[in-house]
Amino acid sequence: MVIASTIPRMRLSSLTARLLLSAGAWSVLVLVLTGLLLSSLFRSAVERAFDDRLDVFVKSLIAELNVADDGSLTISRDLPEPRFNFPLSGWYWEIVVAGESDTSPISSPSLLDQRLDTTASANLGNEATRTDYLVGPDGESLRVLVRQIRFSAREAPLVFTVAGNAGDIDTAARDFNEALFLSLTILGLGLIIAAFLQVRYGLSPVRALRQSVAEIRAGRQKRLTGDYPSEISPLAEEVNLLLDTNEEVIERARTHVGNLAHALKTPLSVLRNEAESLKGPFADKVDEQVYIMREQVDRHLERARIAARANVLGASTDVPPVLSSIVHALEKINSDREIAAEVNCPPSAKFRGEKQDLEEMVGNLLDNAFKWARSKINVEVAVLLNGDGTAALSISIEDDGPGLNEEERSAAIQRGRRLDESKPGSGLGLSIVTDIASMYKGSFELNDARLGGLRAILRLPALS
C-alpha cells in the first residue's frame, strides 16, 4: 500500500519503479520480521519478569509456612500483596499435599471457596518448578507458577501454586506492540522516502543522458556533453563515437553520390551528342532514352542526397530567415507584376532538418505560387503537436490564382507533369517537394485556397 501510493503513475517497466519496488518490498519484509521478533522477545521478557515475581511470592510462602507435628499447615503472615486478600482479584495462592486431591488446601482469601485447576501440573516429576497458563475462578486468564517442595516433617511433598492475572502481561505486550507498530511504520515510511530520494539522485545521470540525446535529436547540440559517473561514462563515449561514425558514413555517401552523378552524366552526355549529330528514327530513339535515363539518374541521385541529409542527427533550421530570403528574392524577380506576399511565421519556428532541404521545398512552392498568383500570396506557419506528443511544423502557402481541380491537383505532384506549357519550368518542383517531405516523414497536399486559388500545405518535423 505504501509503495503503490508513493509511485502511483510510475510504469513498472522503468528502473525507478523496479528499484523502489524491490527496496520497498525488502524493507517491508525486514520490518515485519523485525516487528514479530521484537514482539515475541518483549512478551518473553515480560513473562520472565512476571514469573520472577511469582517466584518471589512462592519463596515468601515457603518462608512463612509452619508445619505442625501432626502435619497441619499454617501461614504465619500474609504475603505483601493486597490483591491476594480481595475476592476473585485474579491474584491467588494455594498450598496442597501432592497426590492428595481430597485434602483441603491452604489458600489465599481471594480464592474464597474456589480451587485452582492445577491437575496438569500435579505430577512435576523431576521438574521441581513449572509455569503455565490456566483459566481462573472468575473466567480470567492466569499465569501460574507451581513448585513442589518436600519437607522433612512430612512424607508427601507440598505443592505451592501462585497465580497472577495474565491480563497484566497482555496489557504490557499490547502497549509495546502499538508503540512498536507506530515506530516501525514511521521507520518504513522514512526508508521508502530515503529509497525514493536515493533512486532519484542515483538515476539523475541517466536522465541527464536522456536529455542530452534529446538535445542532439532536436539539433541544439552535436555531441553528448557533461560529466557522467564511471558506470555511464563508457556509454556516453560510445554514443559520441556512434554519432561521429554516422556523420562520416553520411559524408561518404554524399561524396559517392556526387561521384556517381559525374560518372553517369558524362557518358550520357556523349551519347546524346552523338545521337543529335545523326538523323533518323534510331537517333531519335537513342536521344529519347538518353533523356529518360538522365532524368531517372537525376531523380534517384537527388533522392539519395535527400535521404542522407534527412538522417543527419542534430540538424535544425530557423524558418523565418529562410522564408524571408526566398520571398524577398521572388518579389524582386516578379517586381513587374506587383504581387503582395504576406508572411506570418512565429519567430521561434524551427525545422528539424537541413536548411538546404527547407529552402528547396519552400522555394518550389513559393515559385509556383508567384507564377500563378494574380496579386496576392499568403504564407502561414504554425507549430502544432502530433498525436504522439512530438512537434510538427505546418507551412501553408496560398495564392489568388486560377487554382486546380481535384484531378489536376493529383497530376500536379507527378514528376515531369506540367499543366500549362506556357509557364516556364520542368514539372519536377512539386514532386521534389513530395519526395523531400516523405524523407522527413512529413506530408504535402494541395487544397483550395481561401483567396480563390491553390493552397499548398507542407507538414514537417519541428524543433520543440
pTM of the predicted protein model: 0.52
Based on the fold, state whether residues 299 and 343 are members of the same structural domain. Answer: no
Structural domains in the chain (count) = 3
Q: Grid coordinates 506570418 are at which residue?
A: 344
* 301 and 323 co-located in one domain: no
Angle (CA) 97-100-102 rounded to 5° is: 115
Last residue within a domain, chosen from 257, 275, 310: 310
Last-in-domain residue among 310, 337, 355: 310
- Is 226 inside any structural domain? no
CA angle 168, 81, 89 (to 5 degrees): 55
Question: Which among 93, 150, 106 is positioned nearest to 126, based on CA atoms?
Answer: 150
- Identify the pLDDT of residue 308: 58
Angle of helix 233-277 relative to helix 281-310, nearest 10 degrees?
170
Local structure of residue 462 (DSSP, 8 states) = B
For residue 338, give every residue at least 6 positions away whose Cβ sits within 8 Å of its Cβ, in sequence order, or none. Answer: 375
Q: Return d(Cα 222, Cα 243) in angstroms, integer.
A: 8
In a domain, 221, yes or no: no
Please state the length of the chain: 464
* Residue where one domain finishes, among candidates 152, 186, 202: 202
State the pLDDT at residue 245: 82
Domain interval for residue 131? 1-202
Structural domain contains residue 228: no
Confidence (pLDDT) at 118: 67
So what's the pLDDT on residue 338? 82
209 domain-assigned:
no
- Cell digits for 27? 524493507
User: Are 272 and 256 found together in one domain?
Assistant: yes
Cell digits of residue 316: 535544425
- Report angle CA 360, 366, 367 to the nearest 5 degrees: 85
Q: Which helix (H) or strand (E) holds 343?
A: strand 340-344
Find how far residue 404's CA is from the centre of its chain: 51
What local confidence, expressed as pLDDT, does residue 385 receive? 83
DSSP 110-172: GGTT-----GGGS--TT--EEEEEEE-TTS-EEEEEEEEE--TT-SS-EEEEEEEETHHHHHH
- Residue 343: burial class (beta carbons within 10 Å; 0-12, 13-18, 19+): middle
- pLDDT tens, the chain, 464 aa long: 344 444 444 455 677 788 888 888 888 899 999 999 999 999 999 999 999 999 998 888 888 887 776 667 778 787 888 888 889 888 998 888 777 666 667 888 888 888 887 665 555 554 477 888 888 888 888 999 988 887 765 567 788 889 999 988 999 999 999 999 999 999 989 988 988 888 888 888 888 888 888 777 766 777 787 788 878 888 888 888 888 887 777 777 777 776 776 677 777 777 777 777 777 777 777 777 777 777 767 766 666 666 555 555 556 788 999 999 998 888 888 888 888 888 898 988 888 888 888 888 899 899 988 888 888 889 999 888 887 777 888 999 988 888 888 777 777 766 544 444 444 443 456 778 888 888 888 888 888 888 888 888 899 888 76
d(CA 50, CA 90): 14
Do 395 and 278 belong to one domain? Answer: no
